Structure 1
Amino acid sequence: MKSHINKMFCYYWNPYWAMGIAGFLSAIYFGLTNTVWAVTGEFTRLGGHILELFGVDISDWDYFNLIGMHGTSVERTDGWIVWGMFIGAFITILLSSNFKIRIPKQKRRLVQGLIGGIIAGFGARLALGCNLAAFFTGVPQFSFHSWIFMAATAIGTFFGFKIVSTSWWKGKPVLSKGNTATYSVKKKDIQPYIGIMVAVAYSGLLLYFFLSGKTLLGIAAMFGAAFGILIERGQICFTSAFRDLWVSGRATMTKAIAAGIAVSTVFTFIIIVIYGFEPITKIGAPSTFIGGLLFGLGIVLAGGCETGMMYRVMEGQVLYLFVFAGNIVGATALSYGWDHLGIYEAVVKIGNSINLIAEMGAVPALIATLLMLFVWYRIAVFWEKNYRFGTGLKKGEKKHNEYRLHS
């Protein structure tokens, strides 16, 4: 029993398992709520609420009317997906005794994180979704815009990699003695006990939601926590999935995400076809491509995507508080420019909502999507085999290692 607990909390999980379970749960969440796992829409609403606190009237902003601003963040399912992810990740971080306040040695990284977050937040909302709604949960909805976004994000991360590789971006390195990135458990470490208390308190909140008839909020809070646990334990980061291809040729995260999307696609297909659910389809337009480019660029400059940022904030990494703030600023800026600066008229209005099931039929759409995911997976395998820049794994060596958090 003790060995199983140690394996759960002393080691990170296999990303294939983490992504596969996340893909399955995201499909079930769609079946229960008729909505998808997403986060940046709620980031945008938070920006709107902040503006309202300062007396700004946003009632006539078209973008806020498009995404809906009813209630507060704790009264919306999307809100509890976000807060649940934060809390779920925090619980496992505490149980593994991995919380520690970490401030970058180079203070310029805080500004860079803010800038990257602004660009990523703006791009995500321009494309009507980030790495989740416009990618991980968008592809299983058979929305064609997700493939445009994915390709553009890959290109954006390449340019981001080129920028962060320059000496002017890196700045002067700050040397320190020893390995400051690790956390050693002390004999009387109280973090796991705090983690248990947080888990019990959150379980009580879930019970309250279900007993008081707020079923949808309970479901969102429960699934949000599950997603938070999975992304933290699997160290899932869409930034590394793309960036690592350019940096080292490593494609483990890329392949794991492709596998997770495939799992989600199959189960989402079953829900759509057998239970008659209408797939959620977004507009495919120049804005989708531009947004994907900006998103890919931004997440590399920031050092993390929306999902990666969330669990890193809960680990105590101060940098990602700036990334989080930047995401809200960027999303809010897009909300203003949507109608006030004519962004919708210029790059969105000319687009169309294209769903592969509607265009091709159910079974052909499923086959085409799984085939494209397989091709993506095989390209990642080829890339990793041929472009490892001297860091290739030896033949027969395990390709995804478990990372020890502490001894």
Structure 2
Amino acid sequence: MGFGAKIAGGCNIGALFSSLPQFNLSGWIFLLFVFLGATAGGRLLRNFFEPPVSNKRPNRKRLTPEQRKQRRIIQIVLGVVLTLVVVIVSFVVAPSYPKAPGIIFVGIGLGYVMQRSRFCFTAAYRDPGLTGETKLTRAVIVALALSTILFFGIQASKYGIDLANLQSTPGGTVNLSLVIGSFVFGIGAVLAGGCASGTFVRMGEGYLQNYIAFVFFACGTALGEVFNIATKGTFVKAGSPIYLPQLFGGMMPALFIQLLVLLALWVLAYWWEQRKIAQRNAQSN
């Protein structure tokens, strides 16, 4: 997962939500191949990594309600203390890095929303092929549509809708490294039980497997950097950003086409879920 994110130029946040809403083709390519990778990862998970079914209950010590309450209090206290420490540090470094407090508060808000909403990018890619459910898939599509509208407003207010006013082309580079990285990232996220953001959320919830995933995510990132250095200047890295407004002849056509495609994907996801539900109902009858 870390390897894929590094060579793709980012994970769901960096390579998808920072590119697709800004009308860069790299975001669409990441979305396509991370979906394919997650589908492949789901097959691997089901066929090779799913634990065997056993009627024997695991020999675990059951906690009393008082013990569970005590552990929950400890977790909350530790979370509050850690949050305060991070916030204080952000203000300490603010003179040299003014954006630090804002970034920290956005991160805290994102973590809280993702934990409370049970929002999961990995499940959004994995579930359509594994279980047929597309609730989270449709949520990601809606989020991308809203982000597209928001970024369009920001770009239009700053540069206008005239492409001649753009100082640079936003987004990532379209190349083979992006394709390979996003596909590998999709596989790794499913096998690890969450993407980068999901891993952090579940670490906060106390899941040991995600601490292990985080360690190997860091190792994979280091390997990805080695790969980037080794392939620099080769055909793997050859490419350039492709800005959809330039491709479609303007900001408004790009906005219309992108929202139309996202709407079509939402309808397709809804149809797929209803089809799977109908199939399960037919089998049960």
Shorter-normalised TM range? 0.7 to 0.9
What code does the residue aligned with 1:165 have?
R
Paired with 2:134 and 2:63, the residues of 1 have a C-alpha distance of 24
Question: Does the CA contact (< 8 Å) of 2:132 and 2:272 recur in 1?
Answer: yes
Cross-structure match for 1:297: 187
Paired with 1:334 and 1:183, the residues of 2 have a C-alpha distance of 45
Paired with 1:230 and 1:358, the residues of 2 have a C-alpha distance of 35
Is residue 2:247 matched to residue 1:359? yes
What does the per-residue CA deviation read over 1:114-156, in whole Å, with 9 as the maximum and x for residues that have no partner? xxxxxx2111222112111111232111110111111111111
Q: Aligned to 2:118, what secondary structure does the other structure show?
A: coil
Structure 1: gaps spanning 5 or more residues: 1-119, 393-407
Question: Does the CA contact (< 8 Å) of 2:23 and 2:245 recur in 1?
Answer: yes
Q: TM-score normalized by structure 2?
A: 0.83
Cross-structure match for 2:170: 280
Distance 1:293 1:229, change over 3 A: same
Cross-structure match for 1:225: 108
Is residue 2:72 matched to residue 1:170? no
Paired with 1:180 and 1:170, the residues of 2 have a C-alpha distance of 24
Paired with 2:205 and 2:177, the residues of 1 have a C-alpha distance of 34
Is residue 2:228 matched to residue 1:338? yes
Paired with 2:232 and 2:62, the residues of 1 have a C-alpha distance of 42
Cross-structure match for 2:121: 238
Distance 1:177 1:130, change over 3 A: same
Cross-structure match for 2:258: 369
Distance 1:385 1:197, change over 3 A: same
2:274 to 365, 368, 385: 385
Deviation at 1:321, TM superposition (A): 1.3
Distance 1:380 1:184, change over 3 A: farther
Question: Does the CA contact (< 8 Å) of 1:235 and 1:308 recur in 2?
Answer: no
Cross-structure match for 1:18: none
What does the per-residue CA deviation read over 1:335-370, in whole Å, with 9 as the maximum and x for residues that have no partner? 112233x36513121x22101123321111111111
Distance 1:391 1:308, change over 3 A: farther
Cross-structure match for 2:162: none
Question: Does the CA contact (< 8 Å) of 1:206 and 1:222 recur in 2?
Answer: no
Q: What is the Cα-based RMSD across aligned positions, in Å?
A: 2.9
What does the per-residue CA deviation read over 1:8-41, in whole Å, with 9 as the maximum and x for residues that have no partner? xxxxxxxxxxxxxxxxxxxxxxxxxxxxxxxxxx
Q: Aligned to 1:215, what secondary structure does the other structure show?
A: coil
Distance 1:302 1:198, change over 3 A: closer
Cross-structure match for 1:100: none
Q: Aligned to 2:119, what secondary structure does the other structure show?
A: coil
1:133 to 9, 14, 21: 14
Deviation at 1:280, TM superposition (A): 2.4
What code does the residue aligned with 2:2 have?
G
Paired with 2:65 and 2:272, the residues of 1 have a C-alpha distance of 36
Task: Give the length in aligned residue pairs.
Answer: 269
Paired with 2:122 and 2:92, the residues of 1 have a C-alpha distance of 36
| Mapping for residues 87-126 of structure 1, pairs under 5 Å | 120-126=1-7
Q: TM-score normalized by structure 1?
A: 0.60
Q: Aligned to 1:283, what secondary structure does the other structure show?
A: coil
Q: Aligned to 2:280, what secondary structure does the other structure show?
A: coil
| Mapping for residues 27-106 of structure 1, pairs under 5 Å | none
Deviation at 1:214, TM superposition (A): 4.1
User: Comparing both structures, which one devotes a greater share of its residues to helix?
Assistant: 2
